[in-house]
Amino acid sequence: MKDLYIDFDGVIYNSIDVSYKIAEEEHVNKDYESYYQFFKNLDWCGVLEKSEEINNAFNCIKKIIDSKKFNVFILTHVVSLKEAELKVELVRKHIKNVTIIPVPKRLSKAEMVRIKDAILVDDYPENLREWQKAGGIGVRFDLDMDGKGFPVIDKLDELIEMF
């Protein structure tokens, strides 16, 4: 069985679109530190309420688990502990038997887990580049099917056929 790590924002839930829209409305500067502070103080409860599941993601993850081809983990960047709590609560409402790993935003996902031959599904190409550099396999999730140099999917259960 291959280790499979699945991103949350922009893959399972469209929370990233919702939070960037709020940042735009609040005229947050487009540099890393301004965004970091914005996300630190963001009302994640409100963001998750306004966000939606992407392409039946939770059901797809259940199918992936049932395929018995992968050890499945959700690997999600967080800025605050509150954000981590709310994401775990949300995932648990849908899936009981999946491991959720919150990654402090200032660390790379590639620094958190054993990567050799593990798959990362992520919408953010930089995460995939770091992952690949560390010996893992990157798959981009993109609704426009733009892989940016990586194999690409727009629905999570496509992974079952891909590997």
Using CB under 5 A as the criterion, which residues of the chain lie in contact with Mg ion when the complex forms?
A: 7, 9-10, 123-124
Task: CB nearer to Mg ion: give 123 or 142.
Answer: 123
Minimal CB distance residue for Mg ion:
10
Rg (CA), the chain: 15
Length of the chain: 163
Nearest one of 98, 102, 99, 144 to 123, comparing CA atoms: 144
Nearest one of 61, 58, 59 to 69, comparing CA atoms: 61
User: Taking the complex as a whole, how short is the minimal distance between the CB of residue 109 and Mg ion, in angstroms?
Assistant: 10
The torsion defined by the Cα of 98, 1, 108 and 49, in degrees rounded to 10, comes to -30
CB atoms within 10 A of CB 47: 20
Task: CB nearer to Mg ion: give 123 or 158.
Answer: 123
User: Taking the complex as a whole, how short is the minimal distance between the CB of residue 68 and Mg ion, in angstroms?
Assistant: 26
Task: CB nearer to Mg ion: give 16 or 67.
Answer: 16
Query: What phi, psi does 99 have (nearest 5°)?
Result: -85, 135
Task: CB nearer to Mg ion: give 10 or 136.
Answer: 10
User: Taking the complex as a whole, how short is the minimal distance between the CB of residue 125 and Mg ion, in angstroms?
Assistant: 10
User: Taking the complex as a whole, how short is the minimal distance between the CB of residue 58 and Mg ion, in angstroms?
Assistant: 16
